[in-house]
Amino acid sequence: MMKQPNWLLHRAYLTPDRVALIYQDEKWTFRELALEVENISNRLSRASFKKGETIALLMNNQPQMVMLVHACLLLGLKIVLLNNKLTKAERLYQFEDAKATALLTEPVFANDHDGDLSVYTIETLPKAGQDGEKNIQNVFDLNETATIMYTSGTTGRPKGVEQTFGNHFHSAVSSALNLGLREDDRWLIALPLFHISGLSALFKSVIYGMTVVLHQKFDVDEVKDSIEQHRVTMISVVQTMLSRLLRTLEECPSSLRCLLLGGGPSPYAMLQESKEKGFPVFQSYGMTETCSQIVTLAPEFSVEKLGSAGKPLFGCELKIQDGERTCRPFEHGEIMVKGANVMKGYLHREKETASALDQGWLKTGDIGYVDEEGFLFVIDRRSDLIISGGENIYPAEIEAVLLTHPHVKEAGVTGMYDERWGEVPVAFLVSDQEMLEHELYALCQSHLAKYKWPAAFHFVDELPKNASNKLQRHRLKSKGFLDDSN
């Protein structure tokens, strides 16, 4: 059984006076952060939270969220990170599916769930006392689940991804071996901490001894000023964020040495502009199941290997599989990845876990190929997945909601190109009478996060299907089908 000292406490011991966290005009050293976290964990303990329990966390990016994440881990609590863009119904499903015992949140969300759940905010937790210290977990078992993040399945039912301490640790180490590590590194987080790209940088901070510059959201002017003021060296971005930075800045800030780009490949023109302006863009491929990036393309290959996600991180493996056969270069097949950062499994879903993991190899469900030098090219992101502004959207989830309308007989959803978001969902419906769009938007509003709402509804006589009567979503994108639907 592999164990490690608690990352934050160990970091506070090794480099106590190094800056851990910057948020707006406030700063915390690792020692100060650890003291705040120990106080909060004491208060959680006095609220009767116990080792092994699962706690849901619903917050915006802010220092209290950082502290609560570390405090929960200090008590041996598993954390379900809830997306704050979800509807109440979506959050409740994940809370119940994870068998969470309580919700830790902030006042803006607390009222939503008052009466439904056991809800606590920092303000309502008991005051610290003498009896909380004995419950502190000074070591992490690398095989134990640390965090749970929900990812929508192709059936439309979200699945909880179990991420262990070992997954997070090896993700951080593999990333450092790829991107390098410098004493002056500062990582700016403007992506949500409830997403793996945000949370992974938070864990890198305590493992590396690196400063995190936290932003509640991505505001291009605030981020630009923050990069310059705090001499930020690294930032995680999705395509929409990179696009706004390129529009705002004529040249890359001198301190930046890495923009880690996730959420799908970027257009050639954007990569060319990044190169001309000196932006060191590292394209990457990863998912919740791999605890962030598992394949990354270094900037020197960004034009030569245009459209490639790169090569696996050190210690990770990649292959393209067609059934039982491993594909040769340029042959298309399912992308399979392996490494110590690959998830433990899907929470309470042994069948889905067994289906996804084969002797340590994760079947990503994505289609791609490698070239003769081993560079990965992704053709389809999990086949029908829509990536909109860095958010993953599964068509089946939207279709299931639309089909609850009494006059919608069939529904098909696909992603269409959008200049601002990269892609947006568009719905094609077969109905038995004329319908008003505002009815459909009202339905979506009550069941789906806003970023999942279709940008348009097209009414058609029939949906494209194969011989087995299964919907062929890729055919919804064809111009001929769009013309017929108008």
- Verify that 47 and 143 share a domain, yes or no: yes
- Verify that 412 and 357 share a domain, yes or no: no
The end-to-end CA distance of the chain, in Å, is: 61
Q: What residues form DSSP beta bridges with 32?
A: none
Mean of pLDDT values over 179-201 = 96
Model confidence band, residue 381 (pLDDT cutoffs 50, 70, 90): low
- Verify that 203 and 60 share a domain, yes or no: yes
- Verify that 369 and 401 share a domain, yes or no: no
The answer on pLDDT for 468 being more than 50 is: no
Rounded Cα distance, 241 and 263, in Å: 11
Mean pLDDT over each residue of the chain, to the nearest integer = 91
Mean of pLDDT values over 76-85 = 95
Model confidence band, residue 156 (pLDDT cutoffs 50, 70, 90): low
Please give the tally of structural domains in the chain: 2
Among 144-158, 209-223, 299-313, 458-472, name the one with the lowest average pLDDT: 458-472
Tokens of 191: 């992506």
Report pLDDT for 467.
45
Among 323, 354, 378, where does a domain finish? 378
- Verify that 359 and 456 share a domain, yes or no: no
Mean of pLDDT values over 71-87 = 95
Report pLDDT for 1.
67
Model confidence band, residue 24 (pLDDT cutoffs 50, 70, 90): very high
| Residue appearing with tokens 């406030």 | 26
Neighbours of 128 (CB within 10 A): 17
- Residue 205's SS3 state is helix
Could you tell me if 194 and 84 are in contact, meaning their C-beta atoms sit under 8 angstroms apart? yes
Are β-strands 139-141 and 3-5 bridged in parallel, bridged antiparallel, or unpaired? Answer: antiparallel
- Verify that 191 and 48 share a domain, yes or no: yes
- Verify that 374 and 390 share a domain, yes or no: no
Report pLDDT for 270.
84
Report pLDDT for 269.
77
Report for 139-153, 297-311, 458-472: range of highest mean pLDDT = 139-153
E strands, 376-437, where? 376-380, 386-388, 391-393, 408-418, 422-431
Mean of pLDDT values over 173-185 = 96
Report pLDDT for 40.
96
The answer on pLDDT for 28 being more than 80 is: yes
The answer on pLDDT for 130 being more than 80 is: no
| DSSP summary character for residue 455 | S
Neighbours of 16 (CB within 10 A): 14
At 440-464, the pLDDT tens digits run 999 999 999 999 999 999 999 999 8
Mean of pLDDT values over 242-264 = 92
- Verify that 474 and 420 share a domain, yes or no: yes
Higher per-residue confidence, 263 vs 102: 102
Could you tell me if 331 and 379 are in contact, meaning their C-beta atoms sit under 8 angstroms apart? no
Question: CA angle, corner 456, sides to 450 and 458, nearest 5?
Answer: 140
Report pLDDT for 131.
65
Closest CA relative to residue 192, chosen from 172, 215, 174, 213: 215
Q: What residues form DSSP beta bridges with 290?
A: none
The answer on pLDDT for 481 being more than 70 is: no
Among 326, 344, 378, where does a domain finish? 378
Rounded Cα distance, 465 and 450, in Å: 28
- Verify that 251 and 346 share a domain, yes or no: yes
E strands, 25-122, where? 26-29, 54-58, 78-81, 102-105, 119-121
- Verify that 273 and 411 share a domain, yes or no: no
The answer on pLDDT for 154 being more than 80 is: no
CATH number at residue 478: 3.30.300.30
CATH number at residue 354: 3.40.50.12780
The answer on pLDDT for 118 being more than 50 is: yes
Model confidence band, residue 14 (pLDDT cutoffs 50, 70, 90): very high
Rounded Cα distance, 147 and 57, in Å: 10
Model confidence band, residue 396 (pLDDT cutoffs 50, 70, 90): confident
Q: 79-100 burial, b if ≥16 CB within 10 A, otherwise e?
A: bbbbbbebbeebbbebbebbeb
Could you tell me if 215 and 226 are in contact, meaning their C-beta atoms sit under 8 angstroms apart? yes
Model confidence band, residue 483 (pLDDT cutoffs 50, 70, 90): low
Report pLDDT for 239.
82
Could you tell me if 318 and 312 are in contact, meaning their C-beta atoms sit under 8 angstroms apart? yes
- Verify that 21 and 83 share a domain, yes or no: yes
**Cα Rg of the chain, angstroms:** 23
Number of helices (H), then strands (E), in the chain: 15, 29
User: Could you tell me the pTM of the whole model?
Assistant: 0.84
- Verify that 319 and 434 share a domain, yes or no: no
Tokens of 474: 């890729």
Among 351, 378, 405, where does a domain finish? 378
Residue 72: give the domain boundaries: 3-378
Percent of the chain at pLDDT > 70 equals: 94
Model confidence band, residue 115 (pLDDT cutoffs 50, 70, 90): confident
Rounded Cα distance, 179 and 286, in Å: 15
At 29-48, the pLDDT tens digits run 999 999 999 999 999 999 99
| DSSP summary character for residue 114 | B
